[in-house]
Structures are given as C-alpha cells and as structure tokens.
Amino acid sequence: MKIILDAFGGDNAPVETIKGAAMAVAEYGVKMILTGDEQEIRCVAGEQGVPLDGIELVHAPQVIPVCAEPTSIMKEYADSSLAVGLRLLAEGEGDAFVTAGSSGALVVGASLMVKRIKGIKRAAFAPTIPCVGGSGNYMLMDSGANVECRPEMLMQFGVMGSAYMNKIMGIERPRVGLINVGVEESKGGELQLAAYKLLQKAPVNFVGNVEPRELPFGACDVAVCDGFSGNIVLKLTEGVASAFTKQIKGVFMKNLGTKLAAAAVKGGMSEFKKQMDYTEHGGAALLGTARPTIKAHGSSNAKAFKNAIRQAKLFAEQDVIGEIELGLAELKQRGQELEV
C-alpha cells in the first residue's frame, strides 16, 4: 500500500506533513510518496530529526496558493506539489492521495487528471461530522465542491456516501437523508423535490427529508445536499460548537469554585473534546474520482496528517470505488424507471 502526500499543502507544511508521513510509515506500515521541493523536504526532515525510511520523494518545484484560481492547476501550477501528486495517482504510482492544499484546485485537478468514476456527474467533498446518537458520525455530501447542483448529482451523492459509510464505517445499510426545510415530501425547492423522487428509487436506504435540527443527533448516516447548503452545515457546526465551548470556558473561569469544578470534569470534557476534534478524524473524502483522494483540514498538524493517511489507506483497501461502481451498475439497471 503506497500513499501519495502533497508535502506542501496546508498551513503547517512541510514540517507537519513530513512528520505525519513518518508517523504513518511507523504506525501503519504504509509506503509513502511525498511531492514537493525535494531539497527542502530533505533539509526540514534533517532539522526535525525525522527519518525518511519508507518515504520516496518526487520533486515538484511549485506550490499552488490557496487563493489561486482553481483551474490554474492545469497550466500555471502544473508543476505544483498538488498537481504532481495527482498525476502520480492517475498514473498508478500510488494507491491513494492526501492533500491539505487548495480545495478548489484539488477538485479541478482530480476531475481532469485522475478523472471521475464512469457515470459520475461530479466529485464532491464528503467529511464525516461528529454527532450524538447514530453511529457517532454522519457523512455530509456535498460539503462545498459544487455550489450549484442538479437533482441527479444529489442522488449520486447518496449512492457514493452510502458505499463509503458501508465499507469504511461498517454500517450495513447506511440511512441516507436529504437535507431539507421540513420532513414532508412536498418541502423544499425544485432541487429537493426532484432529488427526493430520484433518491426514493435509488439503490440506497433512503429515509426521506432530514431537518438540520436533527443532524447533530444522528438522524441519518449520509446527509445529502448541494455544496452551498453543505458548506453552511459544515462551517456552522464548527462555529456553534466553538462559540459554545468559549462560553462554557467563561463559566468555568469565573472564580475559585468554578475552577475547581472545571478540574472535576476535566476527564469527561477532554473525552468530549477528543470526539469533536477534527485531528482525530482524518480528512474529507473526495468522492467521485476514479482513485481515492482525501482532503485534509488546512490547519492539520502531524497527527491529523497521520489520521488522513490512515483514512486514505482504508479508502483504497476497502475498495470503496468498486462499491460505488456496483451501486452505479444497479442504478443503470433501474435506469428506465429512473429517467435520468
């Protein structure tokens, strides 16, 4: 198993990417390819005392800035660590790819270089979000790759998310829900009304519309929506949790009594914090591309990269893409009814 890592993606590259890669080699026995400025990687690894055993370096002289036009990955930044990593993945030099770099460039580069799974309209970001109840996590798809979506795309998100949650999380018949403003079939705009009908007939365990209030309580295993709505769900969940934490901290810091109280609940709180911590959960799968790709959080540290690499390994090992293809084949068989 060989995982390709963009050594220059994210706020803390390349120190944390290199460390994360070395940790993954030691812990999971994977082989790694790191893409980026070879000399700098060797220099940083030396400085930090990180061994490069089991790590192959492939030189890439450029770094694509996060704010760059995503399509620039195909021309202006064709020699960036992100582009080179995707090219290696497309050529079969590695089994999966991880980056914490530009999301937009990743979607464009992966769609054009690695290509999409045959029949898939669009690739989409699919992070798993901690929740209370259910399996403790739900997959949100799309969380921002496609700001505007057609109903067929939402149906395919359901099929892909279902395959992933089944193979990676071991959930037998993942409950697929459509994010909507009400539970009744008649709710939502044109997109939701049409997607509801398609999902009903798709080879997934469709549980109908799910209201955003119920998402944090694990109302479904795969929550399907357009990328604009999904981005709201992702970022607002982060924001509310973070604001809440800040308020609770304020309550605990008030006086000596409350500070002692903080000490008493420290164990439970840190367990709870661990559950909410993105560094524990790897990254967001980019589902729909022909080979496994993981987008790690931009502010990932070594541990987060290590976990994203583990996730990429599972993604390849469990043949999620083969499972998606099975779903698509079944979808095709039902094609005449579906009128897609």
The binding site for a copy of itself (CB under 8 A) comprises 67, 131-132, 144, 147-148, 179, 181, 184, 188-190, 211-217, 227-229, 231-233, 235-244, 246-248, 250-252, 254, 257-258, 260-262, 264-265, 268-269, 271-272
Min separation Cβ 255 and a copy of itself, Å: 9
The H or E element that residue 325 is part of is: helix 320-333
Q: Between 166 and 209, whose beta carbon lies closer to a copy of itself?
A: 209
Shortest approach of a copy of itself to residue 237 CB, angstroms?
6
Shortest distance, position 324 Cβ to a copy of itself, whole Å:
26
Distance of closest approach, residue 128 Cβ to a copy of itself, in angstroms: 15
Burial of 298 (0-12, 13-18, 19+ CB in 10 A): middle
- Cβ of residue 253: shortest distance to a copy of itself, in angstroms? 9
Q: Which is nearer to a copy of itself, 11 or 184 (CB)?
A: 184
Q: Which is nearer to a copy of itself, 140 or 204 (CB)?
A: 140
Q: How many C-alpha atoms does 202 have within 13 Å on its Cβ side?
A: 33
The 3-state DSSP class for residue 118 equals coil
DSSP assignments along 78-111, one per residue = TTBHHHHHHHHHHTTSSSEEEE-S-HHHHHHHII
Q: Which is nearer to a copy of itself, 2 or 121 (CB)?
A: 121
How far apart are the C-alpha atoms of 155 and 146, rounded to whole Å?
A: 14
SS3 readout for 14-57: CHHHHHHHHHHHHHHCCEEEEEECHHHHHHHHHHHCCCCCCEEE
**Do 282 and 100 form a contact (C-beta atoms < 8 A)?**
no
- Closest to a copy of itself by CB, 227 or 282: 227
**CB-wise, 40 or 184, nearer to a copy of itself?**
184
Give the residues across from 116 on adjacent strands: 289
